[in-house]
Amino acid sequence: MDSDLSTQLSTSRAAVGPGNVQTAVLKKAVEAEASVANLVADAVQSAPPPTGQGTRVDKHA
């Protein structure tokens, strides 16, 4: 009976390992996507408006 319990315990611990790796990989992928999104947002915020746009509002048009 002890061998059955130890076999089950080692099997369950072995099954947890790949789940942890998958979680870590997914977390890194999400962080990478967020980093790219922040880079794009920063570039958009720092870019000047196109010529003829964004400096004044023409209220007479």
pLDDT tens-place values along the chain, 61 residues long: 456 777 777 777 766 667 788 888 999 999 999 999 999 988 888 878 777 776 677 677 6
pLDDT at residue 1, as a whole number: 47
Handedness of CA 14, 19, 25, 31 (dihedral sign): negative
pTM for this predicted structure: 0.52
CB 49 within 8 Å of CB 55: yes
pLDDT at residue 19, as a whole number: 75
Q: What distance in Å separates the CA atoms of residue 43 and residue 48, rounded to the nearest whole number?
A: 10
pLDDT at residue 55, as a whole number: 66
